[in-house]
Each structure stands twice: as C-alpha cells, then as structure tokens.
Amino acid sequence: GDRNLELRKYDVSDAEWTILEDMVFTLKVFKDATILFSADSKSTIANVITTMDKIDDLITTTVVPATARRRQHIVHVSIREALALAKKTMNKYYSATDESNVYRIAMVLHPSLKLEYFKLRRWEQPWIQTA
C-alpha cells in the first residue's frame, strides 16, 4: 500500500484482533439461535428452552471464574462483563417460561425430548414431576 496515506495508525493491534475473535466466538451462539428461529420449519416452542440452555451454557462456561468451573474458552474481560449482563437478562426470560406450562408441555410432547431432556439437564425432581 501507499505509505503516504498514513493509514497505519488505523491498523488493528494483536490485542484488538483477539477481542474481535472473542466476539465472533461469543456471538456465534446468538447467530445460530437467530437463524434457527427465523426458519419456518424449525421454529417450535420446544426449541425455545433448548436454545436458551445452549446460550446459557456458553455464557456460564465463559463467565464463571476458572476456580469455580473450568472455562471452555477464555475471553477478554470486556466480553465476560457483557456476558455477565446477558446472563442476568437470560435468567429473567428463563424465569418467565415458568409462568406458562406451554414450554414444558411442548417439550414433554416432543418426540425427541420428552422427560429425558429434563433429566439430562439435571433439573430437580420436583420440576420434572411438574412437567
């Protein structure tokens, strides 16, 4: 390139590239969820909880300190902080699913989920019985 343009000051540093890679890693689960629910043939009530669980798994394994739980992918502190806020929002909406039996009924009636999904996710026995 032409060095006279003095564009080098706009180069992305190695540290900035690392943060961008962390963002791509983190946002992939949200992109996948958006694509899933945008497809007419795949969007079902039963998919809501399973997708929320996938997002929550990513957030939990990325945000929770390594001493409490082994991280799958260590991301920049700014990404972890953003994910901690996202976790609060996820918990709010996940709790809202308890307000309606529709989600649990849809999962129990789903041929590939049934009660097994709740057991695999280690739901408490009273919750499984309620479902």
Write down the pTM of the prediction.
0.73
Asked whether residue 19 is assigned to any structural domain, the reply reads yes
Asked whether residue 39 is assigned to any structural domain, the reply reads yes
Asked whether residue 26 is assigned to any structural domain, the reply reads yes
| pLDDT, one tens digit for every residue, the chain (131 residues) | 566 677 888 889 999 999 999 999 889 999 999 998 888 776 688 888 889 999 998 888 877 655 555 556 678 889 989 998 999 999 999 899 888 889 888 888 888 888 888 888 888 888 888 77
- Asked if residue 25 lies in contact with residue 75, where contact means CB atoms within 8 angstroms, the answer is yes
Asked whether residue 88 is assigned to any structural domain, the reply reads yes
Question: Cα dist. 47→7, 33, 91, 124, 131 in Å?
Answer: 47, 10, 17, 20, 16
Q: 13 exposed, middle or buried (CB, 10 Å; 0-12, 13-18, 19+)?
A: exposed
Asked whether residue 108 is assigned to any structural domain, the reply reads no
pLDDT at position 121 is 87
Task: Domain of residue 81: give its range.
Answer: 13-99
pLDDT at position 60 is 84
pLDDT at position 13 is 92
Q: How many domains does the chain have?
A: 1
pLDDT at position 55 is 92
pLDDT at position 66 is 53
